[in-house]
Amino acid sequence: MCSHVPGTLPTSQRAQRHQRARRSGLVLVKNPHLDLMEEDVLYHLDLGTKTHNLPAMFGDIKFVCVGGSPNRMRAFAQFMQRELGLAAAGEDVADICAGSDRYAMYRAGPVLSISHGMGIPSISIMLHELIKLLHHAKCRDVTIIRIGTSGGLGIEAGSVVITDMAVDSSFQPRFEQVVLDDVVVRSTELDKDLAEELLACSRDIPDFPTLIGHTMCTYDFYEGQGRLDGALCSFSSEKKLEYLRRAYEAGVRNIEMESTAFAALCGLCGLKGESYLKPKCALGDLSACCTN
């Protein structure tokens, strides 16, 4: 992927190292410049390789759960602590990134719970730094799951959608990343085995409607998702429903704002990733126009 940077390994040797790392379950970084840096400051997480002993702090992490809201991610860490029998009910968890107010990070045993804010740019910054954190900490076989809310599309109220593929606003399974001023297209496939495993877990819980489907990712909440209540709206209710109907027919079952970047970054760095989202609202009544 990278051209040869002076002072680093040539591409063929790096490719071999990546293959070994992938087989070993380590998290990959694909940046030859990192080898040349004396210190790596994970600025937005308020962590760094010289200021913190990252292998000691995070080396045993096996699961990372990420979601938009800091309060919800704290509540999730508290829930995990109770589930794992690690703390008394109501005991608080410490924010590992308390020195930064960009993201919040909590841990409960082998589980990290991190907030990522809203939208692709915000989750991307966090994921770049999280991936480097897991790499520096020499974590192995890490599973990452995005949990959160979304808008549902033609599905039963209260259902949870497990994403098999993240698609863009044209329903294509791709993430267009601008690198300097070039556009690079990246794959947005998620881990199919993990999706099936999560679905099986859901089936063990009574009254927990869960399905696997495509998740559409947009850059805008109001005009991009067909909402009629933004400060700007130039389309009719009919035009909105026609768009959502086309999305449904393309396999989309929910809409949010981070999944394509999440899928692309996890895929490139060897993280087993999945997105597990509970639609909070129905984006339109598709009962009249959906075939199933």
Among 20, 25, 35, 37, binds a copy of itself (CB under 8 A): 37
The answer to whether 61 and 107 are in contact (CB under 8 A) is yes
Task: Read off the tokens for 59.
Answer: 């080396």
Binders of a copy of itself in range 91-110 (CB under 8 A): 101-102
Cβ distance to a copy of itself smaller for residue 203 or 246 = 246
- Fill in the per-residue mask, 63 to 82: x = in contact with a copy of itself (CB under 8 A), - = not in contact: -----xxxx-----------
By CB under 8 A, residue 31 contacts a copy of itself = yes
Among 10, 25, 55, 121, binds a copy of itself (CB under 8 A): 121
The answer to whether 93 and 77 are in contact (CB under 8 A) is yes
Of 21, 7, 3, 277, whose CA–CA distance to 131 is shortest?
Answer: 21
- Fill in the per-residue mask, 182 to 211: x = in contact with a copy of itself (CB under 8 A), - = not in contact: --x---------------------------
Residue with tokens 């909402």: 227
- For residue 108, the cross-strand partners are 111
Quote the CA–CA distance of 292 and 287 in Å, as a whole number.
Answer: 8
- Min dist CB 226 to a copy of itself, Å, is 6
User: Would you tell me how many other CB atoms lie within 10 Å of the CB of residue 261?
Assistant: 23
Q: How far apart are the first and last CA of the chain?
A: 42
Of 223, 208, 113, whose CA–CA distance to 161 is shortest?
Answer: 208
Quote the CA–CA distance of 32 and 4 in Å, as a whole number.
Answer: 8
Cβ distance to a copy of itself smaller for residue 3 or 292 = 3
By CB under 8 A, residue 20 contacts a copy of itself = no
Q: Contact residues for a copy of itself (CB under 8 A)?
A: 1-3, 5, 29-34, 37, 40, 68-71, 101-102, 117-122, 124-125, 127-129, 131-132, 135, 169-170, 177-181, 184, 218-224, 226, 228-237, 239-240, 243, 257, 265, 268-269
